[in-house]
Amino acid sequence: MTRAKLSREFFGTLPNGEVVEAITLTNANGMRVRIIGYGAAIQSVYVPDAQGRFADVTTGYDRLDAYVAQPQYFGSTVGRVANRIAGARFTLEGKEYLVPANDAANSLHGGELGFDKVNWTVTACDEDAMSVTLSHVSPDGDQGYPGNLSVTATYQLHADNALSVRYQATTDATTIVNLSNHAYWNLAGEGAPHDAMDHLLTINAAHYLPVDATLIPTGERRHVAGTAFDFRTAKTIRAHVRDVSDEQLRHGRGYDHNWVIDEVVARAPRLHAVLKDPHSGRTMRLLSNQPGLQFYAGNFFDGSTAGKAGKRYHMGDAIALEPQMFPDAPHQASFASVALHPDQTYENIIIWQFGATAGDADEHAPQ
């Protein structure tokens, strides 16, 4: 057994002179997680395989300058609004707001200078709880959004090899909020010879949200039965990810869609997805209180980015599973609102439960 410990160290200095910290959480099983202040991001996650061999299962960089020079949302907290806002504009309480168009005509993950590109402040470290809290204040008008928004992200490493993050936000004026974490996963290890396409994936949803050619939801909730989007029983991602006969997969060059876990935020986290790597036996169960799950299959990795192990990331080398509210909610009357009022507290709880087994995945989702 390893002694559980929390360490805090220098990670780098931003061009504006700000110092970025790194906090490493280690539990008694030897599982180790590193969180950095830049983007309140998960920088590394070391977990054992079925034989007890440890590997880092999330993408990222060793150096701060790479995060700045080649931002890929690796492990980052994304917001104020995760995912896309059509036309880079929205109307709130009768007033139209313009936000940065950084994804063709749409706004993506909070804009050009979203929460992934700011240096969060480390406000608390608790070795007993094995947790770290980071905070950020987004001023009124930041990236076009109204209201002063105060946000915290509390990461905790648990004794049973679960990692969790609790996002909370409050505002002094009505605004819109939809935070998520954009970690990419390859349970074989981020530098392994295997990509993530052989991973077995289960998604606990009977419907998904079709998108148009710009990846904006059409508003339809489409049943997954008989489609490439049916992950109610575990199957490999590779099975259909490059199926060019499916218009939806052509739109995203693979999966880049939101699954309907529920219609509203839950009182407590519930199962969203289960991921298993058949090569290592590592497993990951994903839980959240959010109603939607964005599954992105790493379709646009083009070899231009080299990660911590020195391996260049290519299409399908890692995948993102992002619990969140539904994309483009301000323009979709049938989607749950992402408006946050001054008397409310926004909360997104995400739990990643890691394990290892040599057996087949047996998770099944409701019909």
Residues labelled as active-site residues: 182, 322
Amino acid type, 242: R
The structure tokens listed for 309 are 């192990």
Do you know the residue count of the chain? 367
Please say whether the dihedral angle defined by the alpha carbons of residues 95, 101, 107 and 108, taken in this order, is positive or negative: negative
- Residue found by looking up tokens 């507290």 in the block: 345
Quote the DSSP letter at residue 326: P
Nearest to 130 by CA among 47, 40, 9, 8: 8
CA–centroid distance for 49 within its chain: 22
Alpha-carbon distance of 121 to 40, in angstroms, equals: 9
Quote the DSSP letter at residue 4: P
What does DSSP say about strands 131-138 and 149-157: parallel, antiparallel, or unpaired? antiparallel
- Residue found by looking up tokens 């679960």 in the block: 162
- The number of CA neighbours under 13 Å toward the Cβ of 101 is 10
Contact between residue 285 and residue 38 where contact means Cβ atoms under 8 Å apart: no
> Can you name the residues that pair with 320 across neighbouring β-strands?
184, 296
Contact between residue 257 and residue 328 where contact means Cβ atoms under 8 Å apart: no
Distances (CA, A) of 352 to 86, 131, 185, 202, 272: 30, 15, 11, 14, 10
